[in-house]
Every structure is written in structure tokens, then in C-alpha cells.
């Protein structure tokens, strides 16, 4: 069992204000413009992406989209 924390009203010592360096929620929410498409991919490719996505706790569609985005950026 965890020890119960007891809070007191004591001085905490010298305090230093740190500037806000964290991104805003708007910056964290990726708002990429997307277009929904239908595409037929091989079962082997889908199985690969599903396995990898499960390992990295993400969605396989997102991995495929990022792969295509990286390829496109490299070709431009």
C-alpha cells in the first residue's frame, strides 16, 4: 500500500519561474489535409503494416500514410 501524502503550508524555498516552452494544444493536434481514397493492397503488405503497428502501438493506416508522405517529400 502506498504511503499517504500529507500536504503542509510551509515555505517551499526559492522559486524560479521557467518560461513556457511547451507547444500549444493546437500545435500538437496535427491537422494534415487528407483525402479519403480506396486502394487495393496485397495481403502481405497489410499484414506487415498491421504487425508493425501493433508493435509500436499505432494504427497501420497512419503508418502507410506516413510512408507515402515521406516518399512524396523525397521525390519533390
Give backbone dihedrals phi and psi of 25, rounded to 5 degrees, phi first: -55, -35
Q: What is the pLDDT of residues 20-36, one digit of tens each?
A: 877 777 666 666 788 99
What's the rounded mean pLDDT across residues 10-27?
80
* Contact partners, residue 56, CB within 8 Å, separation at least 6: 63
- Residue predicted with more confidence, 12 or 63: 63
| HSE-CB for 58 with a 13 A CA cutoff | 11
Is the pTM higher than 0.75? The answer reads no
Amino acid at each position: 500500500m502506498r504511503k499517504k501524502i500529507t500536504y503542509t503550508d510551509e515555505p517551499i524555498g526559492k522559486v524560479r519561474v521557467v518560461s513556457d516552452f511547451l507547444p500549444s494544444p493546437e500545435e500538437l493536434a496535427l491537422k494534415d489535409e487528407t483525402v479519403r481514397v480506396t486502394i487495393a493492397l496485397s495481403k502481405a503488405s497489410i499484414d506487415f503494416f498491421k504487425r508493425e503497428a501493433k508493435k509500436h502501438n499505432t494504427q497501420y493506416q497512419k503508418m502507410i500514410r506516413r510512408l507515402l508522405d515521406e516518399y512524396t517529400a523525397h521525390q519533390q
